[in-house]
Amino acid sequence: MKLVLKFGGSVFFEGENINTKLIKRYVHTIDQIRQKHEINIVVGGGNLARKYIEALDYLGAPESFKDLVGIEISRINAQVFITALKDLAYPIPPKNFDEVIKALNSGKIVVCGGLIPGQSTNAVASFIAEETGADQLINITDVDYVYTSDPKLNPEAKPIENIKIDDFIDLIMKNSGKAGTYNLFDITAAQIIKRSGILLKFVSGRDPENIVKAVNNEKVGTAVISKIKR
Ligand code: UTP
């Protein structure tokens, strides 16, 4: 199979610190999966990006500038992961779509951060999934399921195991889409998933085994079902 793994930046943080132990466990898991499957990776900006964006917002920066700073932070997170993956990874996070395509031809695992303002790293992950003809895009995040509403804000929110892409799009349309607030998934990303019929999964980043389960189609997290792949 061809896989794209999207890591929420927050997966790698434990409070203020970078969770290097967890990153090492992920490297081990990825090394096992790549024996059988092709993998590419996208890393988000996480809480660090949100902190910078909040400060810039307070200081009066325009949305697009806040996005650019978010992109820089996600690229720094990508560089941390590249360091951990050593020779398995392409040595630098691509800066634009052309560089992504060049990097994908290297045979190494491409680890990308953000690319352009006005979207999230989920859009980057969806683009790479589309470009590589990926079978699955696995979104590794800080919640164990997609919920009927934000579980951090609403204790009544219910976990969803399977959802059709159109219902998923309705769910995420409720989010605002300002810099740093493409909460679960942004609409650009969802539209790429829909048009290419990519199977999208959400799993908790606490345990690297969750990716193995997702790859093996075992019951874990939420599956977003698009049309059957041709
Ligand atoms: P993300 O919102 O993608 O980070 O990027 P994340 O880590 O995935 O978020 P969590 O942890 O899963 O919740 C951080 C910010 O960088 C900008 C956006 O402002 C985004 O909110 N960004 C990122 C872009 O403008 N373009 C990109 O291609 C990527």
Q: Which domains does the chain have, with CATH numbers?
A: 6-225 (3.40.1160.10)
Percent of the chain residues past pLDDT 70, beyond the cut = 95
Residue 74: is its pLDDT beyond 70? yes
pLDDT at 183: 72
CA pair distance 224, 104, nearest whole angstrom:
25
6 CA: nearest ligand 1 atom: 8
How much is the pLDDT for 168?
Answer: 95
Query: Which residue in 99, 129, 84, 224 sits closest to 168, CA to CA?
Result: 224
pLDDT at 16 over 70: yes
- Please provide the average confidence, as pLDDT, over all residues in the chain: 93
Give the tens place of pLDDT for each residue, 161-171: 999 999 999 99
Distance CA 51, CA 73 (A): 10
- Give the burial class of 224: count Cβ atoms within 10 A of its Cβ; 0-12 exposed, 13-18 middle, 19 or more buried: buried
**Amino acid 53: pLDDT:** 97
Distance CA 70, CA 3 (A): 25
- Ligand 1 centroid–CA 71 distance in Å is 7
| Ligand 1 atom at shortest distance from the alpha carbon of 123 | 28
* Ligand 1 centroid, distance to 230 Cα (angstroms): 31
Q: Which residue's CA lies nearest to atom 2 of ligand 1?
A: 120
Q: From ligand 1's centre to the CA of 57, what distance in Å?
A: 15
Would the pLDDT of 31 be above 60? yes
Ligand 1 centroid – CA 161 distance (Å): 25
- What pLDDT was estimated at residue 154? 85
Distance from C-alpha of 27 to C-alpha of 215, rounded to nearest angstrom:
16
Nearest CA to ligand 1 atom 28: 114
| Residue identifier of the C-alpha nearest atom 8 of ligand 1 | 44
Closest ligand 1 atom to the C-alpha of 113? 29
- Tell which atom from ligand 1 comes closest to the C-alpha of 122: 3
Lowest mean pLDDT of 10-14, 43-47, 104-108, 131-135, name the range: 10-14
pLDDT band at 15 (very low <50, low <70, confident <90, very high): confident
Is there an atom of ligand 1 within 6 Å of 49 CB? yes
Residue 158 confidence (pLDDT) above 80: yes
Mutate to test the pocket of ligand 1, among 182, 183, 188, 200 (most ligand atoms within 8 A of CB): 182
State the pLDDT at residue 179.
57
Sheet with 222-225, strands from edge to edge, namely 111-112, 38-43, 2-7, 136-141, 199-204, 222-225, 162-164
Residue 177: is its pLDDT beyond 90? no
Cα dihedral across residues 76, 71, 104, 143: positive or negative: positive
126 lines ligand 1 (CB under 6 A): no
Give me 164's structure tokens. 């059709």
Q: Is the CB of 44 under 6 A from ligand 1?
A: yes
